[in-house]
Amino acid sequence: MSKHIRFSHDRNARPTLPDGSPLARYGILEGDRVFETESPWSTEKTGEFLLAQVRLLPPCWPSKIVCVGRNYVDHAKELGNPVPAEPLLFYKPVSSLIASGDPIVYPPITQMVSFEGELGLVIGRQARNVPAASAMDYVFGYTIVNDITARDLQKKDGQWARAKGCDSFCPTGPCIAAGELDFESIRIRSWVDGQLKQDGSVRDMIFHPGDIIAYITQFQTLEPGDLIATGTPPGVGPLEPGNTVRVEIEGIGALENTVIRK
C-alpha cells in the first residue's frame, strides 16, 4: 500500500493551497521520508526529503467535500436523531480544510464545538451514474477526516452551512492510503487529550461506501480528488481550546490537531 501526500517546502504555506500552486508538491510517504512525485496519482519518484523538512498539506485538493450525516445507527441515537432512510448529505467548503498538525480554530460564533472522526474516500477518476457494484473502482484511496461541528449552530440554523463550514473545520490526512485495505476490519478511533472517545467499526455503517458513491453520482459528477466523508461512529463529544484531538485508522495513520481560540 502506498501513502500519498501533498506537501510544501514553505513551512508557512497555508493549508488551502490548491493543486497547481508552485508551493504545493506531491509525494509518497515511507516512514520518515518523503519521495516527491509529479502528480497526486503518480508513483514515479523524482526527489527525496525528510518528513521533518516539509510542511504537510491536506492530502487532496477536492472540487467538493461531500459528507454523510448519521451513517451509524448509534451515532444518530446518541444525538436524538432519526435514522435516515437514504444517505443524508451535506457539504463542507474547501476553505475548511487543514492538515494534520494544523490548529482547529474555535470561532467566537459558537459555544459548542465537537469532533467527529471519519473514514474519507478520495475519488480517483470521474464518476457519474455509477452502479454500487462497481463504485469502489472509482476510489483512489482512503484518508481520515475529522468533521468538526459547531453543535449549537447546527441546532439553531437547521441547515448546516455555518455549523460544518467554518475555517479549519475539516482536518484531513495525514495521507491517502492507496492499494489493498481490508475494509471490513477498519476501525475508527478518536482520542481527546489521550482519552479514547470513539472506537467504531465501518461494518456498522448504514450505507456502504459503494452505495454512497452510487447515490451521489445519480445527481452530480465526482471528479478526481473529490473527498467523501462517510460518517462518524458513536462517541462524539465537545472540544475546548487547548484540547488535542487524534483520530486513527490502522493502515492510514493518525490525524492530530490542537484546538485554539481565535
Cell of 232: 462518524
pLDDT of residue 79: 73
CATH number of the structural domain spanning residue 99: 3.90.850.10
pLDDT of residue 74: 79
Closest CA to 126 of 43, 220, 16, 19: 220
CATH number of the structural domain spanning residue 43: 2.30.30.370
- 49 and 175 in a single domain? The answer is no
pLDDT of residue 183: 79
- 21 and 75 in a single domain? The answer is no
3-class DSSP state of 77: helix
CA distance 89 to 71: 10
- 45 and 90 in a single domain? The answer is no
- 69 and 48 in a single domain? The answer is no
pLDDT of residue 82: 83
CA distance 4 to 140: 10
Residue 74, C-beta contacts closer than 8 angstroms, at least 6 positions apart: 204, 233, 234
Domain count, the chain: 2
CA distance 166 to 107: 8
HSE value, Cβ hemisphere, 13 Å, CA-based, for 218: 9
Report which residue type is found at 166. C
Residue appearing with cell numbers 493549508: 15
Radius of gyration of the chain (CA): 17
Closest CA to 116 of 124, 132, 104: 104
- 109 and 126 in a single domain? The answer is yes
Residue 72: how many other CB atoms lie within 10 Å: 25
Domain extent, residue 37, equals 2-57
pLDDT of residue 42: 87
- 51 and 77 in a single domain? The answer is no
Residue 156, C-beta contacts closer than 8 angstroms, at least 6 positions apart: none
pLDDT of residue 166: 98
CA distance 254 to 262: 25
Which helix (H) or strand (E) segment holds residue 212: the answer is helix 209-216
- 85 and 40 in a single domain? The answer is no
Per-residue pLDDT of the chain (262 residues; tens, 9 = 90+): 899 999 999 999 999 999 999 999 999 999 999 999 998 888 899 999 999 999 999 999 999 999 999 999 877 787 787 888 999 999 999 999 999 999 999 999 999 999 999 999 999 999 999 999 999 999 999 999 999 999 999 999 989 999 999 999 999 999 999 987 887 789 999 999 999 999 999 999 999 999 999 999 999 999 999 999 999 999 999 999 999 999 999 999 999 999 999 7
